[in-house]
Each structure stands twice: as structure tokens, then as C-alpha cells.
Homo-oligomer: A and B are copies of this chain.
Amino acid sequence: MGQITFSDVVAKTESMKGAPADFGRRSLIKAGLAASILTLWQAEPSWALEDRMSNDKKHGALPSILTMADVHAVSRALAHYTEGPLLNGLWKRPELSSRDRSVVTVAALIARIQSIEMPYHFALALDNGVKPAELSEIITHLAFYAGWANAMSAVAIAKDIFHQRSIGIDQLPPAKEKLLPLNEEAEKQRAAQVSNNFEAVSPGLVQNTTDLLFRDLWLRPALAPRDRSLVTVSALIANGQTGQITYHLGRAMDNGLTQEQASEVLTQIAFYAGWPCAFSALPVVKDVFEKRQK
């Protein structure tokens, strides 16, 4: 293939808007440029957001596509709130570890397809001690709890971060592995309740819930049940799915999430999913806390 200059691409593009042209050559250009765009879009230059990170520990993060200078150019107030109350305030509160804050934040971003902050927070999560295998499982878990395309949007970002950090599949969980032991009694109860209520309404959904979720996904060992619950509860709050919080927050606390931690999850999520999501969850969380104290 001969030398194709940028002006050729411009010309090509112009001609593409008219009658169909030389498809073979165009496809070649397309394949190449599309691939580079896709790769480059997320594999961001090192200057991006570096000032935002400057008061954090050094890391090899793939930053977001915004620089702190960009934020400054649009809203000095937002830059101020980001550097102060958010990064130097919220993230340093002792009620929840940085690692758990990253789990909550990553879950919220994936649950709402907030792609623009994924590169920054996926990288920060790894820096904060979330293992690559755990990030991988969080994404898989959210395919079921937030939607398949949500997980795929996360894959599009994570693949570049994994590549940049030389994280190979040897560091990631296998497709299938020995499952954690099932709490048969609790699962029997759960299944019976769902089945009694909804078997006749949607047998396919009820069956998949048992087979794929509670007897498979939840038992995968690469993410501890407590963390899986943390991801689930965070996604529910971030998406305003208050009707599902009661069961999963109870399960989370059964799995080891303390009340203080659950309380701080709300503080964290308010920033990343917005205050209204946190406030809509408050009465439900209150109710769960009160019922467990009896």
C-alpha cells in the first residue's frame, strides 16, 4: 500500500458522502483508522488529569479524557469542589477504606455507563488495591446486575488499562472454576420465595435467577461475597432501584458489610450518582438498619 496522507483521508471522506466509491481501499483505511481511534480514544496521553492526581500517590493510571485544565476552563467552582471536598475530603474519610470507595465508585460508574470517568477510576481502583481479578469479576457481575452493554462499556476501557499495565489473563479468573460452597438453607428459602411469587409470571427469569446467579455467579471465588454484595448494593443505589435494596443490603450485611460501611457507601455514592439517588435510598437503608437491630 502506497503512502496515504492526511489530505487523502480528507478527500476520501468527502467522497464518501456522495456516491459509493472505491470500497476496497476505503475499507482498508477504515479498518486502520477505526482501530487506531478505538485504541487511542481510551489510551490517553500522560498529561491528562495528572494535576488532578498530583496529590495522590504516583501511579501509572490511564487517566480520563479530561484534564483538570479542561475542568478549570469550564468551571473553576467544579475544579475546586473536585480537588477539595471530593478528592481531599470524601476519599480520605476513615469510615470506608480507599479500596472499598473504589469498589463503590467503579460499580456506580458501570451501572450508569459514565464512561468518561471509567479510565481514571479503573486505574485508581487498581492503585487502591482492587486486584485485576476482582475488577474483572466486578465487570462480569454487573453484566447481570446492570445490563450486558454496561459490562461491555467497561470492557472497552479495562482492556486498554490491562494492556498498558501488562495484566495478562494469567492474572484473571478462568471462565469456570471451583465454586464457593453454597448456603443451601438460605438459597432454598430465597428460591422458594421468588418461585412462590413469580414462577407463574416469568418461569424463564426465575429459572435463570437460580441457575445463573445464585448457584453460579455469586459463588465464583474471585470476588468475595461481601464485595459482590457491595458492588450490587452500589449499583442498585446508583440506578435508583430502591425496590431491590432491602434484600441485597440485608444480604450484604450477612456477608460482612458493617452498618458503618453501608452508611458511608451512601456518602460516597451521593457524589458519583448524585444526591437524589442517595436520598431516595436513605429511607430504605434506614428501614434495613432498624429491622436488623431488633
Q: Could you list which residues of chain A lie within 8 angstroms of chain B, going by C-beta atoms?
A: 1-10, 12-14, 16-17, 20, 27-41, 43-47, 64-66, 70-82, 85-86, 90, 93, 95, 108-109, 111-114, 116-117, 136-137, 139-140, 142-156, 158-159, 162-163, 166, 169, 172-176, 197-198, 200-205, 208-209, 212-213, 220, 235-236, 238-244, 263-264, 266-267, 270-280, 282-283, 285-286, 289
B residues near A235, Cβ cutoff 8 Å: 274, 276
Copies in the complex: 3
A14 and B29 alpha carbons, distance in the complex (Å): 12
B residues near A64, Cβ cutoff 8 Å: 152
B residues near A80, Cβ cutoff 8 Å: 175-176
B residues near A156, Cβ cutoff 8 Å: 65-66, 70, 116
Residue of B nearest to A11 (CB): B32
B residues near A150, Cβ cutoff 8 Å: 114, 274
Q: Is the CB of A136 within 8 A of B202?
A: no
B residues near A242, Cβ cutoff 8 Å: 243
5 contacts between A and B (CB under 8 A): A5-B6, A75-B151, A76-B174, A145-B275, A145-B276
Residue of B nearest to A144 (CB): B275
Whole-angstrom distance between the Cβ of A47 and the nearest chain B Cβ: 8
Q: Is the CB of A71 within 8 A of B152?
A: yes
Given A80-B175, A213-B275: A153 in contact with B4 (beta carbons within 8 A)? no
Q: Is the CB of B204 within 8 A of A264?
A: yes
Q: Is the CB of A13 within 8 A of B41?
A: no
Can you name 19 extra interface pairs (CB under 8 A) apart from A14-B32, A197-B283, A198-B286?
A6-B6, A6-B8, A9-B33, A9-B36, A10-B32, A16-B39, A17-B35, A30-B43, A34-B41, A74-B158, A76-B169, A79-B175, A145-B275, A147-B238, A147-B273, A200-B286, A208-B267, A243-B280, A244-B279
